[in-house]
Amino acid sequence: MSETLLLETASTAPRRRVTAVAEHIVEVLSDSGEGAQRCGQAFAAIAARSGHGIWTLEIIPAEIQPPARSVAGASGNRIRLGGGRITNGGDEADLVVAFNEQVLIGRVAEGELKPGCLVLLESMWREDRDPAVAQAYAAAHADLVARGYRVIEIPMDRECRKLVPDPRRGKNMFVLGMLCSVYHLDLGLGREQIALTFGKKDAKVIATNVRLLEAGWAWAEEHLDFAFTIPTAQITEPQVVMNGNAALALGILASGMEICAMYPITPATSVSQHLTELFETVGGLVHQAEDEIAACAFAIGASYAGKCAVTITSGPGYSLKQEGIGLAVMAEIPLVVVDVQRGGPSTGQPTKPEQGDLLSALFGTHGDAPKIVLAVSGIEDCFYAMITARRIAETFNTVVIVLSDGSLATAQQPFPRPAFSEDWLAPPVDQSPVPEGARPYDWDEATGIFRRFIPGQPGGMHTVTGIAHDRDSHVAYDAASNEDGLRHRSLKLAALQRTLTCPEVFGDPDGDLLVVGWGSTKGAIEEAVAGLRAEGHRVASLHLRFIQPLPSGIGEILRRFARVITVEANWSDSPDDALIDEDNRRYAALAMLLRSRYLVDVGCWTESRGRPFKPGTIRAALLDELAKEKRG
Amino acid sequence: MIPVADCLLRTAEAHHDLADYRSELVPRWCNGCGDNAILTAMQRLCRDEDLAPEKTVFVSGIGCSSRLPHYMNTYGFHGTHGRALPIAEGVKLSRPDLSVFVSTGDGDCLSIGAAHWLHALRYNVDLTVLLHDNHIYGLTKKQASPTSPLGTKSNTTPMGSVLAPLNPLTITLGVQTASFVAQAVDWIPDLLYQVISAAYRHKGLSFVRILQRCPEFMPGLFDPWIQDPKRMLLLSHADGVTVGPALAKVYPNVRAHDPSDRAAARAIAEVEDPLPVGILYRDPAVPRYEELRHVGELRTVERVRRGLEAELDRFTIWPEDAATP
Ligand SMILES: Cc1ncc(C[n+]2csc(CCOP(=O)(O)OP(=O)(O)O)c2C)c(N)n1
Ligand code: SF4
Ligand SMILES: [Mg+2]
């Protein structure tokens, strides 16, 4: 079905059918530089302020300036809005706005559009002076129609031209106005959002954009025969809406860490960029080192001499930090390392998310180097995990690795505004004299914990070293000293482990299938599980935040289910491949860990498609697994 | 400049003597190893500058030379191979109140840590860097280093090394922001001491290449210069190292050289015979990274609270601003 809404007949406004829906997924797509991103973000903010739950994802082309009207150049946002709390980007889109037909093609091919999806398409290309463009448009349009999408061609350019000379700048606000109309959002909030978005620019810019917004809204009111209402909830507590990387940056500030050393790498860089701005006013240093090896060494030096420091990176940079991480473990210097994972190995898929670094986080660097690994499971967790990580690093004088990934980095979600507590901050650096006779590595027999002497403390002079050493920090190659050090460094993990509480099972305590996940996939997994449970399936899930050490009680949980699988965004061999059998199958990272620790036959389902998990995909995988179990 | 109160404290305190800077460990270097002379010079410097042992940090990488911190009764950080400089930068940026020294070998600094060397010169953090240049990998038992003379027979070059050595002085002087470049030799302790004390007093990164004897693996390497003092070129200047009459008697080859003259410094650095010793270049005006980045400002709980709240405000939806459904 295709509809070309002719302007000539504009005065006869269609009767508008308003449909109540529980939620919708909207995508706004353009060439990069046309402002779809800004439109999507503003739309999400307005929706959030209207009391909708939201989750937004960025759609980012891999190149900086991809050619205009190219399939790979799609840039924009996906906004999932609903009545309650939204925890992931969802399945396929219900409505897509596209500034040209090419940016749609890739999304269609990837299966990102729901059958019958509404497509609001810029129509200017149909009459383009370049016949090739006009032809491409006509062909793509015909294809979209043939696929059963409801394509509505909209003369956005023509309408915007009435207000601005270059609609490439401004069309996005016209679209924002249309979306406000389609989703019954308050235009007043729209105007406020524009003022916020263009805050630093002059009033004229804001006025122009507000006019474009109003024009888009009026146009939709007059020409579109559909609108949707989605339930809202009254906002009673202040909420913050930010993406995972912003939450990491704010969390670092809130943790009291004052020094961050980094080397730019996608998708981690924006954490440090944000932190640089914050430290500008609050004090503190973000050091852009010459490489990740130096960044890690710099952070270790800074930590050694004062408060715990942080170094932030992604996969390739994480590889380069390995020797430094081992040094911090060995010399027992607190250090927080953030790895915002991306597709690997090597340069891999720089702009795409993956959970491929778990094993290198757990076991990276040579020798026995026990370190703490925790994975953030959502945007809010990005904030609080940094406070936890700093505190653990300093209490146990060791390395804490925090794993996030590309799908949280730029995803936005509201969460309750954190209420600042002084306890979050690091205590002042101890400069008191060291008691007579105290030794630099005075390991507690039971826990391996000791009080670190920090430069400036009279009487505490000693040389820390990455070489095997005794309690005086003297180089010691003898077997007893070596094992003494290994033992106490290892005990610290057990000491921390004793303080951890077991994560709660999502669903019933036993059943046919348990899904275990870690990191960013929590929302999508739990949504899939909730759906299946509602249909009567005996499925539950367990999400791990601390992965090293693992809290007590997990083994018992695994054993209460007939079948256990992990769901992870990394690679595992498919048992369906001809060469693959139980003797050679490579399991997903967490599955491997759980199998070895609990001696439970944990299976896995993985996907490495370079995109955030969809609850629908997980659902299908779990149904498969349940069917197998039945046949079993 | 030392604040008045600190001054008073200093005079009130007992001055330190050499023993205060010796750790209880006996150096494990070979007999005749030049590292011993460097250690002695450092202990003398600490005593003469009356450095508080707890406020002094010696950072090193890995190698024979990098053992030095263990023999100082100060704080020390014996790091990983090649990474002494970034570790030391972190120490200093986190704690500008500490005096930070770096000991690094020719493999440590000029090979595995080469990127850090160039960038350290760019940052110009206030560090005193001692390059223990014995022209060989000592700790790993004789492999060619970036400064091994052409034809050096080593375990990795049994037929003689085929690559020409690099010149750490000309390279260092090639970095625009290098602010202090000097050369010393372990066998003229007086000059070594003078050079490192000038290096210590320089605010910024002072790079001191010390030709260091390794009798174990490079026996006799510097003998031509040791045996023929005329082959040494002593750089003298009122604003640099002054060569007293006693020294001048032994080392007649003294040249007046103004350390602010970069072109002359480069010309001197090019020539290895006669071997220049002294301060080649100094520019106290080069900005230091810690100044440029304003580190050391007091961060109070209140400042963090205000900064965090203000930032959260930017992301906040207040109930009163939200739409009422
Ligand atoms: C990453 C790494 N690579 C290699 C080594 C082995 N290694 C230790 S010291 C050294 C060379 C030392 O030579 P130099 O820096 O000149 O110091 P010297 O022993 O001569 O004082 C090497 C290759 C190491 N410790 N770490
Ligand atoms: S091997 Fe050479 S550098 Fe190492 S301690 Fe012996 S003499 Fe000194
Ligand atoms: Mg050497």
Segment B192-232, tens digit of pLDDT: 999 999 999 999 999 999 999 999 999 999 999 999 999 99
Task: Report the percent of chain A where pLDDT is more than 90.
Answer: 93
Q: For residue B314, tell me if it sits in a domain.
A: no
- Per-residue pLDDT averaged across B150-168, rounded? 98
Say what the pLDDT of residue B13 is. 55
Residue numbers in B near A256 (CB within 8 A)? 304
**A232 interfaces chain B, CB cutoff of 8 Å:** yes
- Atom 6, ligand 2: which residue's CA is nearest? B30
- Which of A548-552, B7-11, B21-25, B109-113 has the least mean pLDDT? B7-11
Report whether pLDDT(A58) > 50. Answer: yes
What is the pLDDT at residue B14?
A: 55
| pLDDT at residue A311, rounded to an integer | 98
Is the separation of the CB atoms in B196 and B41 below 8 Å?
yes
Closest residue of chain A to B26, computed from CA coordinates: A474
Q: For B271-292, what is the mean pLDDT? A: 97
A334 prior amide bond cis, ω within 30: no
User: Cβ of A458 under 8 Å from any chain B Cβ?
Assistant: yes
Residues in A 283-322 with any Cβ partner in B closer than 8 A: 283-285, 287, 289-291, 293-295, 297-307, 309
Nearest CA to A561 out of A521, A611, A606, A514 is that of: A514
Nearest to A259 among B70, B94, B116 (CB): B94
- Note the maximum CA span of chain B: 95
* Within a domain: B219: yes
Lowest mean pLDDT among A198-207, A313-322, A323-332: A198-207
* Residue owning the nearest CA to atom 2 of ligand 2: B214
User: Would you say residue B222 lies in a domain?
Assistant: yes
Neighbour count for residue A486 (Cβ, 10 Å): 15
The pTM assigned to this predicted structure is 0.96
Q: What is the structure's pLDDT at A261?
A: 98
- Which ligand ends up closest to the CA of B30? 2
**Three-state secondary structure string covering chain B:** CCCHHHHHHHHHCCCCCHHHHECCCCCCCCCCCCHHHHHHHHHHHHHHCCCCHHHEEEEECCCCHHHHHHHECCEEEECCCCCHHHHHHHHHHHCCCCEEEEEEEHHHHHHHCHHHHHHHHHHCCCCEEEEEECCEECCCCCEECCCCCCCCCCCCCCCCCCCCCCCHHHHHHHCCCCCEEEEEECCCHHHHHHHHHHHHHCCCCEEEEEECCCCCCCCCCCHHHHHCHHHEEEEECCCCCCCCHHHHHHCCCEEECCCCCHHHHHHHHHCCCCEEEEEEEECCCCCCHHHHCCCCCCCCHHHHHHHHHHHHHHHEECCCCCCCC
C-alpha distances in Å from residue A423, one per residue of A256, A452, A543: 10, 20, 27
CB contact under 8 A, A304 and B93: no
**pLDDT tens digits, one per residue of A188-233:** 999 999 998 887 778 899 999 999 999 999 999 999 999 999 999 9
Pairing of strands A546-548, A372-375: antiparallel
Q: Is some CB atom of chain B closer than 8 A to the CB atom of A251?
A: no
- Please report whether residue B4 resides in a domain: no
How far away, in angstroms, is A105 Cα from ligand 3 center? Answer: 60
> To test ligand 1's pocket by mutation, which of B139, B142, B221 has the most ligand atoms within 8 angstroms of CB?
B139
Residues A133-140, mean pLDDT to the nearest whole number: 97
Alpha helices in A368-517 (DSSP H): 379-396, 406-409, 479-497
| Nearest beta carbon to residue A281 from set B91, B298, B307 | B307
Sorting pLDDT into bands at 50, 70 and 90, what band is A632?
A: low
> If pLDDT is split at 50, 70 and 90, which confidence band does B299 have?
confident
Q: What pLDDT is recorded for position A108? A: 96
Tens digit of each residue's pLDDT (9 = 90 or more) over A154-171: 999 999 999 999 999 899
Binding-site residues, ligand 1, Cβ < 6 A: B 62-65, 81, 105-108, 132, 134, 136-140, 145
| CB contact B295 to A (< 8 Å) | yes
A51/B contact by beta carbon, under 8 A: yes
Residue type, A589: A
In a domain, B142, yes or no: yes
Q: Does B58 touch chain A (CB under 8 A)?
A: yes
**What spacing in Å lies between the alpha carbon of B27 and ligand 2's midpoint?**
11
When CB atoms are compared, the residue of B74, B77, B317 closest to A48 is B317
The answer to whether B61 contacts chain A (CB < 8 Å) is: no
User: Across the interface, do B80 and A418 touch by the CB < 8 Å criterion?
Assistant: no
Residue B303 maps to a domain: no
Q: Which residues make Cβ contacts (< 8 Å) with residue A249, sequence separation at least 6?
A: A271, A272, A274, A275, A278
What pLDDT, on the 0 to 100 scale, is given for residue B236? 96
Yes or no, beta carbons of B75 and A242 under 8 Å apart = no
**Domains observed in chain A:** 2-229 (3.40.920.10), 240-424 (3.40.50.970), 430-498 (no CATH), 511-631 (3.40.50.920)
Percentage of residues in chain A with pLDDT exceeding 70?
98
The confidence score (pLDDT) of residue B5 equals: 46
**Nearest residue on chain B to A415, alpha-carbon basis:** B316
Q: Which residue has the higher pLDDT, B300 or B106?
A: B106
**Which structural domain, as residue segments, surrounds residue B251?**
13-291
Instruction: Sort out which chain B residues have CB atoms less than 8 A from A280's CB and list them.
Output: none
Q: Do A298 and B86 touch (CB under 8 A)?
A: yes
Which pLDDT score, from 0 to 100, does residue A9 have?
40
Q: Number of CB pairs < 8 Å for A and B?
A: 211
- B27 C-beta closer than 6 A to ligand 2: no
Q: Tokens 């146009």 — which residue?
A: A219
Our count of domains for chain B comes to 1
State the distance from the centre of ligand 2 to the C-alpha of B137, rounded, in angstroms: 9
Could you tell me if residue B93 is inside a domain?
Answer: yes
Cβ distance A465 to B78 less than 8 Å, yes or no, reads: yes
Is residue B304 in some structural domain? no
Average pLDDT value over all residues in chain A: 95
Nearest CA residue ID for atom 6, ligand 1 = B140
B57 touches chain A (CB under 8 A): yes
Interface of B with A in 100-139 (CB under 8 A): 115-116, 118-119
Q: For residue B61, how far is its CA from the centre of ligand 1 (angstroms)?
A: 8
Return the number of other C-beta atoms located less than 10 Å from residue B138's C-beta. Answer: 26
Of the listed ranges A297-306, B236-245, B293-302, the one predicted with least confidence? B293-302
Tokens of A79: 């906004």
pLDDT in the model for residue A481: 97
Distance, C-alpha B228 to centroid of its chain: 28
Helix, strand or coil, per DSSP, at residue A510: coil
Nearest-CA distance from A292 to chain B in Å?
11
Q: Cβ contact (<8 Å) for A460 and B322?
A: no
CA distances from A27 to A24, A74, A89, A126 (A): 10, 11, 11, 22
Residue A556 neighbours by CB under 8 Å, 6+ apart: none
Per-residue pLDDT tens over the stretch A413-452: 999 999 999 999 989 999 999 999 999 999 999 999 999 9
* Residue A451 phi, psi (nearest 5): -95, 120
Q: How far is A474 from chain B (nearest CA, A)?
A: 8
pLDDT of residue A514 exceeding 50, the answer is: yes
Q: Positive or negative CA dihedral for B207, B211, B214, B217?
A: positive
Please give the structure tokens belonging to residue A620. Answer: 């299908």
Instruction: Say yes or no for a CB contact (<8 Å) between A283 and B116.
Output: no
* Predicted local distance difference test score (pLDDT) of residue A12: 53
Question: Which alpha helices (H) appear in A350-499, and where do they start and end?
Answer: 358-363, 379-396, 406-409, 479-497
> Domain holding B104: CATH number?
3.40.50.970
CA of B264 from ligand 1 middle (Å) equals: 34
At B187, the amino acid letter reads W
> Would you place residue A262 in the very low, low, confident or very high pLDDT band (cuts 50, 70, 90)?
very high
Q: How far apart are CA A528 and CA A510, in angstroms?
A: 17
Index of the ligand 2 atom closest to the CA of residue B213? 7
The answer to whether residue B76 neighbours chain A at the CB level (below 8 Å) is yes
* Rounded average pLDDT over A560-583: 97
**Angstrom distance (rounded) from CA A496 to CA A449:** 10
Contact (CB<8Å) B325/A189: no
Name the pLDDT band for A7 (thresholds 50, 70, 90). very low
Contact present, A400 and A337 (Cβ < 8 Å): yes
Interface with chain A: mutation pick from B59, B67, B93, B125, highest number of A CBs within 10 Å? B93
Residue B97 with chain A: CB contacts under 8 Å: 456
What atom of ligand 2 comes closest to residue B29's alpha carbon?
Answer: 5
The amino acid sitting at B237 is H
Residue B324 has pLDDT above 70, yes or no: no
In the block, residue with structure tokens 């860097």: B129
Cβ pair A239:B317 closer than 8 A:
yes
What lies within 8 Å, CB to CB, of B290 at 6+ separation is B92, B93, B96, B125, B126, B296
For A298, which of B90, B95, B321 is closest by C-beta distance? Answer: B90
A460 in contact with B, Cβ within 8 Å? yes
For residue A573, pLDDT beyond 80:
yes
Tokens representing B196? 């490192």
Provide the mean pLDDT of chain B.
94
Q: Which atom of ligand 1 is nearest to the CA of B35?
A: 21
